[in-house]
Amino acid sequence: MSFKLYFKYGAMGCSKSAQALMAKFNYEQQGYNVLLLKPDKDTRDDHDGKKFVKSRIGLEAEAIGFSSKTNLKTLFKKHNKQNPIGVIILDECQFCTESHINQLKELTAYVPVLCYGLKTDFRTKLFEGSKRLIEIADSIVELKSICACGRKANINARLSNGRIVTRGSIIEIGGNERYKALCYDCFIKLKNEQKKNTPN
């Protein structure tokens, strides 16, 4: 019997972390031991030397962190020996490497794997982890969020002093002060307005 690799994605503010935590709660209610994972690259909610998955609505749970060099199959086997794992739930999966996603796919031989994260970066390009998930996930579900105009948001715009930024490091951690979920039309409109208002 094999299980599925799930990719649940959306723009900033679509409740990805909240949904990951609700899935954790639901599995635990049914008696499953949950391995909650989060890449070390996201340090926003870390405190007291521990890593946490935290949602904007206040839900949070301690998670196991891992680096770009971590073998997730080895990590799974270690925790599975201590207390048999029933499901893997991963938040911020966009920060995974292609190898991580391949390892998670292999782990579906033992347990279901639920991945939550962004699909694209601030340049509208696919993250490495998200790209691989789109290629090999068994189930891909979009979590909806709304642009200020009322349309579906699908762009994670990066801001600097209120202006959209289209260059810089791919990974730059931040929240509402640094990123804004926009629909494509509003994204293009704001970029064009900035160009008009920028002195030559």
Q: How confident is the model at residue 159 (pLDDT cuts 50, 70, 90)?
A: confident
pLDDT at 172: 61
Q: How confident is the model at residue 168 (pLDDT cuts 50, 70, 90)?
A: low
**What CATH architecture does domain 5-144 belong to?**
3-Layer(aba) Sandwich (3.40)
- Considering 60, 92, 98, 172, which one is annotated as catalytic? 92
Q: How confident is the model at residue 200 (pLDDT cuts 50, 70, 90)?
A: low
Edge to edge, the sheet with strand 51-54 lists: 51-54, 60-66, 34-39, 87-91, 113-117, 5-9, 139-142
Mean pLDDT score, 63-69: 95
- Tell whether pTM > 0.85: yes
Q: Please confirm, yes or no, whether 193 is among the known catalytic residues.
A: no
| Contact in structure between 130 and 154 (CB atoms under 8 Å) | no
Relative to beta strand 51-54, strand 60-66 is: antiparallel
Q: Which of 95-99, 129-133, 170-174, 192-196 has the lowest mean pLDDT?
A: 170-174
Q: How many C-beta atoms lie closer than 10 Å to residue 93's C-beta?
A: 30
